[in-house]
Amino acid sequence: MAKAVGIDLGTTFSEIAVMQAGEPAVIPSAEGGNLTPSYVAISKTGERLVGQVARRQAIVNPENTVFLIKRFMGRKWDEPAGRELSVQEDAKRRPYKVTRGSNSEVRVAMGDKEYSPPEISAMILQKLKADAEAYLGEPVTEAVITVPAYFNDAQRQATKDAGQIAGLNVLRIINEPTAAALAYGLDKKKEETVAVYDLGGGTFDISVLELGDGTFQVKSTAGDTHLGGDDFDQRIMDWLADEFKRDQGIDLRNDKMAMQRLKEAAEKAKIELSTVQQTEVNLPFITADASGPKHLTINLTRSKLEQLVMDLVDKTLEPCRRAVEDAGITAAKIDEVVLVGGQTRMPLVQQKVKEFFGREPNKGVNPDEVVAIGAAIQAGVLKGEVKDVLLLDVTPLTLGIETLGGVATPLITRNTTIPTSKSQVFSTAADNQPSVEIHVLQGERPMAADNRTLGRFILDGILPAPRGLPQIEVAFDIDANGILSVRARDKGTGKEQKITITASSGLSKEDVAKMQKEAEAHASEDARRKDEAEVRNNADTMAYQAEKMLRDNKDKVGADLNTEVESKIGAVRSALQGADTEAIKRASSELTEAMQKIGSAVYQQSPPPGGAGPQDSSSGGEEPPKPPDEGTVEGEFREV
Amino acid sequence: MSEDEERYSDTEQPEGDESLMDVATLTKELDDARQRAEDYLISWQRAQADFTNIRRRLEQDKAEAIKYAEGDLILKLLLVLDDLDRAMKHAPPDLKSDGWVQGMEGIARKFKGVLEGAGLEEIAAMGLAFDPTLHEAVACLPGPEGMVIAEHDKGYRFKDRVLRPSRVAVGSSEPAQEIIA
């Protein structure tokens, strides 16, 4: 089955993503990393180079290395300046030859041939396609490609042509802001107005979209083709160079290699300051003078960085104002804000956007990848891979049963995709326990009593046996409609009981949210109660084990020791009657010491054989290490 | 009662046109059911295929992640290695035989040895033909055409990948070019 992909064909970088098992994912390039530079070159030996490799040799082969081709897509030689520079003005700035074709179209020269801009873009697309095919192990023949919202028909057609030249059936050309909105699933909402704020490396775009009937309409766009993250880096570099000059009297701006290191350090510091408040820019041996080597060590705080770039961030707000005005609305009428571009990771940018639109922007999807991801989702929808009927539900809350000490033991954790089934083997808590009660619970709290009871049933007829020996398999199964059936089976006798619960999905969204919130609010208190339950269970186990040890080693243990251990067991038992956890802990640790004395007494003997080990078919035992024979609480049920 | 339901209730009197209509309805229902079964089968096969593919993919990704896991950390450590290289290169000539400097040299060598033990390998550049798959040109200087004539930062391979290309100056018969910022 050929895959349909989504492609963000960018001015400086391009990216490709695909739907895999219902989830969009960006495909890494053959060189590693998710971004492919939008560079194409013909090497001096006549070889075609695309992406990272083309970029690395740009400086030695400038006349045969084409970049920023997107700015020429679908444009005529005589086209005046609009959002972008006029074609002829732009052409003058390129190190490669840009000429006028016979139909006044733009042509670029590379090697000894001339190419149209779609042919160059096609080379980038071919590289992305080849990398995707190598990664997926299957052919890629269809694609959704994104373009800026302000692209006209000719520019869109040129992009479509590029896809066809690359051997791709272009399913659709979509707007970059629309793709970003799709990545956040905003198409599933009702009528809404969405603002997409896209601050990349070199350009800024703001678009206002209107959603109706699941489709987006671009109401307005604005932006600045020469404003982006690179300007932020430049500000930091300038400041670092100034500081260094003030400190050491040396101007690094005259040293190209030093400036190269400074640029990398500036970008690194900028990225770090998105998560920490202060960072050290540390470049040893940055330069040298007569007195010896010089080191650059400067602390940069987030607030200093914000001071340095404040006006750049403010500069994005004017286009925002314009776009909102052109859309004929006010900022308050915007229902959703989406962030695109790496520079939007900066807290100051997020804060300014939030202030301007008066609402928290959508984040969470990687802003460098959000456009490619949206394109992949659109491709999936067009290919019928993203169908509502195929969208699988999840269980909103954890499902489990009650075990010894009132603990809720989860079998199916929340957000598990359904249909699903899971089973686990449990055992009895007391010797000769004839039956177990299966108490089916729903909720996130660790103690059974705090969760919702979905149902209860009793499995009886368990043959008399020491605690921990019978094996009761409990299986949960939820079908696609959310109907839960719980079955318990005694593996020894084959006897089984089951219950079907249809109401497990009967909770409203509000109920689910409330239960989740409660779980969070009570987290620490719950953890304490669960710890208490564990202390009790352990103490109980220890008392049981000590009794068994005394019984088994009657002849080897002296009368004194026998009395001592018995009194300690008694102490544990009486502590267990009370509610003082510390007292239980104390009594158990005293009992442990006494038990060690029995151990010494029977030292010559080989250790008694262990009971049935964990037979759990699905989850690892949560219990602390302890012997299998334990506990005395009649009629309860425990994990093995 | 809908039309369909009425027909079902009539099935007990299979007579004349009505029974023919029943046959027609049932045939249509059978066709619909077959079509649905076919659709489900296709969807199920597709889901199975997706599942198999994603499992294979996950295994590959995991194998790769394990193989290259140290790469990310080593890439960051290269900054320290670069600084150590620079420090050693800038050691004052009159101190070269100083015990302390020699000790530092030993530390630098040891650090590099540890990284090499983990799979790091230096990329050769000086005096070789410029190769954009291994080298990144940061300057173009007068010199033998297309040859690496200066190395600003060493490049490294990690296992079979280029972790960081060598940053080099390339010889050219044409006038010097600016460094790419």
Annotated active-site residue A142? The verdict is no
Distances in whole angstroms, Cα of residue A607 to Cα of each of A600, A603, B51: 12, 9, 48
CB of B175 less than 8 A from some CB of A: no
Give A509: exposed, middle or buried? Use CB within 10 Å, 0-12, 13-18, 19+.
exposed
Provide the pLDDT for residue A387.
Answer: 55
Of the ranges A68-82, A116-130, A284-298, which is most confident? Answer: A116-130
Minimal C-alpha gap between A264 and chain B (Å): 10
Provide the pLDDT for residue B48.
Answer: 83
Nearest CB to B179; choose among A49, A62, A256: A256
Minimal C-alpha gap between B139 and chain A (Å): 7
Average pLDDT over residues B35-63: 85
CA of residue A72 relative to chain centroid, distance: 36
Judge: A284–B181 Cβ closer than 8 Å, yes or no.
no
**Which chain A residues have a beta carbon less than 8 Å from that of B92?**
292
User: pLDDT of B89-98, one tens digit each?
Assistant: 888 888 888 8
Share of chain B above pLDDT 70, in %: 86
With beta carbons less than 8 A apart as the criterion, state whether A286 and A259 touch.
no
Annotated active-site residue A176? The verdict is yes
CA of residue B51 relative to chain centroid, distance: 21
Nearest CB to A285; choose among B53, B83, B165: B83
CA distance A351 to B70: 35
pLDDT at residue A455 greater than cutoff 60 = yes
Give B137: exposed, middle or buried? Use CB within 10 Å, 0-12, 13-18, 19+.
buried
pLDDT at residue A611 greater than cutoff 90 = no
Judge: A288–B170 Cβ closer than 8 Å, yes or no.
no
Catalytic residue among A3, A8, A127, A219, which? A8
Catalytic residue among A15, A142, A161, A198, which? A198
From chain A, which residues contact B within 8 Å (Cβ)?
1, 20-22, 31-32, 43-44, 49, 53-54, 56-60, 62, 256-257, 259-260, 263, 284-285, 288, 292-293, 390
Per 3-state DSSP, chain B is made up of helix, strand and coil in percentages (nearest 5) of 55, 20, 25
Average pLDDT score over chain A: 87
CB atoms within 10 A of CB A3: 23
User: pLDDT of A468-483, one tens digit each?
Assistant: 899 999 999 988 777 8
The answer for B 56-75 residues in CB contact with A (under 8 A) is: 57
Provide the pLDDT for residue A391.
Answer: 46
Average pLDDT over residues A282-295: 90
Provide the pLDDT for residue A605.
Answer: 57
pLDDT at residue A306 greater than cutoff 90 = yes
Judge: A293–B146 Cβ closer than 8 Å, yes or no.
no
CA distance B99 to A66: 53
ipTM: 0.73
Nearest CB to B170; choose among A21, A60, A293: A60
pLDDT at residue B177 greater than cutoff 70 = no
CA distance A82 to A72: 13
Minimal C-alpha gap between A301 and chain B (Å): 22
pLDDT at residue A165 greater than cutoff 90 = yes
- What are φ and ψ of residue A629, in 5° steps? -100, 110
Annotated active-site residue A8? The verdict is yes
Minimal C-alpha gap between B137 and chain A (Å): 6
Element (H, E) at A568: helix A559-577
CB of B47 less than 8 A from some CB of A: yes
- Token readout for B61 is 């990704």
Annotated active-site residue A70? The verdict is yes
**Which chain B residues have a beta carbon less than 8 Å from that of A1?**
46, 49
- What are φ and ψ of residue A457, in 5° steps? -155, 165
Residue of B nearest to A95 (CA): B177
**Which chain A residues have a beta carbon less than 8 Å from that of B123?**
none
CA distance B3 to B22: 12
**Which chain A residues have a beta carbon less than 8 Å from that of B147?**
none
Average pLDDT score over chain B: 84
Site from A59, A232, A260 to mutate, B interface, most B CB atoms within 10 angstroms: A59
Minimal C-alpha gap between A389 and chain B (Å): 10
Task: State the helix-helix crossing angle for A509-521 and A523-552, rounded to 10 degrees.
Answer: 70
Provide the pLDDT for residue A349.
Answer: 97
Minimal C-alpha gap between A292 and chain B (Å): 8
Judge: B47–A259 Cβ closer than 8 Å, yes or no.
no
Q: Is the pTM of this model over 0.90?
A: no
- Token readout for B180 is 């790419």
Judge: B162–A31 Cβ closer than 8 Å, yes or no.
yes
User: pLDDT of A262-282, one tens digit each?
Assistant: 999 999 999 999 999 999 999
CA distance A433 to B109: 69
